[in-house]
Every structure is written in C-alpha cells, then in structure tokens.
Structure 1
C-alpha cells in the first residue's frame, strides 16, 4: 500500500494565465477582424463608421489580459513551481501480480462488441472481461455475454454513469491488483495492455493517450479539431496541477488503475458528470494526491457510429468547453 501525499491547495496561476492570454488574444483577433470589415465602407463611402471607437478599444485593451496572463504564467513557472512539484523520488513499485480485470463500456455496439470482448478475453494476462451496457437498445448485451463477458446493464443514461459502473464492478474482484478500463467499439486493442503495465510501477493510474501520430489510424472519429482540442484541455489540466503530471489527452477511456488506488478514488468521483467524465477522473485523481502517468496507445477506426463527444466538431467543442468549466470552476456545478 502506497502512502498518498495530499498535494495541498495552491492557486493555479499558470492555468489562469493561459486562460487570460487566450482571452486577450481572442479580443485582439476580433478587433483586427472588425477593423478589416469596417475599412471597406470607410474607403468606398467616405464614412466614419460608428463602431471604429469600439474597434480601437478592443484592440488596445486586449493587451491587458495578455499581459496579466504572461505575468501569472511566469510567476507560477519561475517562482512558485518549486512549491508545487513534489520533492519525492521517482516512484517504482513492482507489480506483485500482472493479471488484470478488463471493463468495457458499451452503448448500442452490437456490431463491435463480440470482437472487442474476444480480443481482451484471449489476452493471456486478462482474468475476466466485464461489459457494462448503458441500456443499449440493440443486441449489445446478448452478444457480449455470448462472447464470454460478464455483463451488466446500467439503466441510468450517461457516459459517466456507465464508466463509474464499470469501475465499481471491476473493483469487486480481489484476485487481481489491476483494472483496465476500455470501450467496446474496437477503437482500442488488447495488445496495448503490455504498454500500460510497463508504466504501472510508476503510478496509481496510467492514462492512455491517442496523441502520438504514428499510433493513430488516419480515419478515426477524432478529427484534427478534436485532436488539438484534447491537447489544449490536457495542458490546462496539467497547468492546474503543475509539476504533478504530463497530460495530452483528456478524452480517452483506455486506462489502467491500481485496484487499491481506485477504491480510494471512487467515493470522490461523481457519475452524474457525463461526456466530460474522463477529464473529471484525471482532475479528481490528481487532486486526491494520486500519481498519474500517460502512456501512448494505438487508436483505430471505430466499428459503428460514434455516440459520444466525437459525433462532430460542434459537439466536441461543447464537451471541451464543459471540461474547461469543470477544471476551472469545479465538477459539482457541472454535474448539477
């Protein structure tokens, strides 16, 4: 059992600085765009547009949040950083048992769930595969059971509730020390368990990242906009917990959990958080003093149609904003 060290409460100046900088840059770009649009009537009609003073004010005062943002970031990085980064040795806790329980989320995944279950069942380090169907309306539940999975049906709608049920059911099996959370849509593969296990001695949770280009199939539901959006939100979360972790992907389900750490974390998680649950999971784990490591995993074209935050860029943008809101203002407000 590893002793957890509370990270304490620190003002995330770098996080606020990044947001202020982005806000100021947005103001400046809006001001420049207004200037371009107002230039045409002034040139052609010789008229003094009434919005010119507003345009000039936006451009001029955009420097205020930019300057404050840079100042906040420099303060955190150059002065306060040593108070935030834990002064502890690099952790290495060998795995007594390498076998895992795999828990798969599923929602109307009848076309993919059979192959997904078989892929994990056949892995030599997997003791069992659990599938939690989030009240699917097709044959997902039956096909998962036929493929060899232990099946549960979560009647309450929502991605967060499905993931929370997966983690809860998997944590009940004490013949393994490790739990792997994944999805039943074939976007991830069982062979990446070996990678997650390689990082497991160094932390409590190993989060798979889909941001390594050679490991990402060219045709996935993760568009370029969502790809860079995940990195951006990941860096905001990293800034909030400065010195604690490196985060480049806040939306991936694929992760490995030490069972003892998960049992400590579960009471702090809120299953009412929906599509933003993975960001909530990472944020809460770091806030509770757990060690979070990232591991590159392969990402493949899904079988079937996406039903989550990757449906389109607009939905992805909406989920990203809600993630930022949760990271900055807290997840209880978001869940309510």
Structure 2
C-alpha cells in the first residue's frame, strides 16, 4: 500500500482546519498541520481532529512547508512516505479529491501532480482577479521560457517524496509553489494536472486578500521565473 503524508500550512484557520482534516481520505497515513504562528485555536482544533501539529514561528508559506518537510526528513526511513501532498487549510480545496491528485503517481508513475483550479469547476469569486491574472501570467511565461504545460499554480499538489527531496526547496514565502514547478521542469520530472473543484475559502486570504500580499506574491513569482530563465 502506498504511504502518503499530507502537509497543511495554516495561519489562523480555526474555523476551517478541522473541516479540512476530516475530509481527507483514509488512504492518507498522517496529516501534518504546520501552524504558522497562529494566534487563534488552529492548533487545538487540528489536534482534536487527529493531525500531527507543528509550530513554525517565522511567518511565510514556504517556512511552514519547509517545517513539515523537516519533520518528515527526521522520521525513521521506514516511516517516510512515498508521496507528499500539500493542501491549504482554508477549505477552498476539496480534500476528498486527494485520491484524484495521487492517482497519476500511484497508477502511472508520474512524479508530480498539480490540482488545476479550472474555471468550470471554480465557485464564483473563489479566485480573485489578481490571482487569475497572476496564474495566467506565470504559466504563460513558463510556457514561453520552458515549454511548460502547466496551467495553474494551485497549492493542492502531490509529489513523490524522493523527487521532492531532490528538488532542494528553498523559498520561504510566496514563491514556494512556482519554485517547485520550475525545479520540476529543470530536473525533467514527469508531471500532469488534474482538474479539481475550488470554492470560496473560509476567512480572509493572507495573500490574495490584501494588496500587499498580492504584490509580494507577484514579485516573488516573477522573480523565480526570470531567475530560472537566465539560468537556462
């Protein structure tokens, strides 16, 4: 049986985190919630829902993801997973669709899978105009520079654990998702996208919900793309 661990970065998601955890399919061996300096009941609610809870005091999506990976790296090798899934804690994704996300890895030996938030499966208002434009711009530039087939930077994603380690992830803030995709392209990982449903999140987005967050995310994303285009 394939071993799967889920990493959920979470900052003040007390109203949604248990819903996310409880909707994750039973094929998952461990759910790891990384509280990114939360000041509400996120940690308590995640523990009650059965997750392993870690705390990362440095704010940043990448910091939280790296904390989860560090936890996995320090497990006995027999307890390390074959697949790692990343999932947001705001209940905008449908955790039950995890089986769709990992299917290409389990049955077709694909290295990396993105849950693509396609328009026809998105709830109205679930993605802001800056998000939609940013996704379009980033994926268009990746297509031009790297012949990429990505259409989304969706955070709901799965990757073989050994391949993830091989990528050597570094970004500590908004560039985490684009870094993973660019490094997957650079290292010639096999990849695909799976269309997923997407709904309005519970609470306010810490990135797209603020002008500052949207600007910094955009700068990070473009920075990674142009850095890698120069390295080609």
Give TM class, smaller chain. Answer: 0.7 to 0.9
Q: 2:22 aligns with which of 112, 118, 134?
A: 118
Whole-Å separation in 1 of the counterparts to 2:213 and 2:37: 22
Whole-Å separation in 2 of the counterparts to 1:202 and 1:298: 24
Bigger radius of gyration, 1 or 2?
1
Q: Does 1:299 align with 2:204?
A: no
- Indicate if the aligned counterparts of 2:206 and 2:213 stay in contact, CA closer than 8 A: no
- The residue that corresponds to 1:216 in the other structure is 122
Whole-Å separation in 2 of the counterparts to 1:281 and 1:157: 19
Task: Give the TM-score of the pair, scaled to structure 2.
Answer: 0.87
Q: Which 5+ residue runs of structure 2 have no aligned equivalent? A: none
- Indicate if the aligned counterparts of 1:102 and 1:130 stay in contact, CA closer than 8 A: yes
Q: 1:316 aligns with which of 195, 202, 214?
A: 214
Q: Which 5+ residue runs of structure 1 have no aligned equivalent? A: 1-96, 332-336
Cα RMSD of the aligned pairs, angstroms, is 2.1
- The residue that corresponds to 2:145 in the other structure is 240
Q: 1:270 aligns with which of 163, 170, 173?
A: 170
- Indicate if the aligned counterparts of 1:202 and 1:293 stay in contact, CA closer than 8 A: no
Whole-Å separation in 2 of the counterparts to 1:235 and 1:156: 32
- Indicate if the aligned counterparts of 2:56 and 2:64 stay in contact, CA closer than 8 A: yes
Higher relative contact order (CA 8 A, sep 6+): 2
> Which secondary structure state, in structure 2, belongs to the residue aligned with residue 126 of structure 1?
coil
Whole-Å separation in 2 of the counterparts to 1:303 and 1:237: 31
- Indicate if the aligned counterparts of 2:10 and 2:36 stay in contact, CA closer than 8 A: yes
Within 5 Å, give how 1:144-155 maps onto structure 2: 144-155=46-57
> Which secondary structure state, in structure 2, belongs to the residue aligned with residue 305 of structure 1?
coil
| Total equivalences in the alignment | 224
Q: Cα offset for 1:299? A: 0.9
More helix by share: 1
Task: Give the TM-score of the pair, scaled to structure 1.
Answer: 0.62
- Indicate if the aligned counterparts of 1:105 and 1:183 stay in contact, CA closer than 8 A: yes
Question: Can you list the C-alpha shifts for 1:262-319, whole angstroms capped at 9, x where unaligned?
Answer: 2222xx22143x11211111112221232222221111111111112x1146642442
> Which secondary structure state, in structure 2, belongs to the residue aligned with residue 248 of structure 1?
coil
Change (3 A) 1:174 1:278: farther
Whole-Å separation in 1 of the counterparts to 2:212 and 2:67: 28
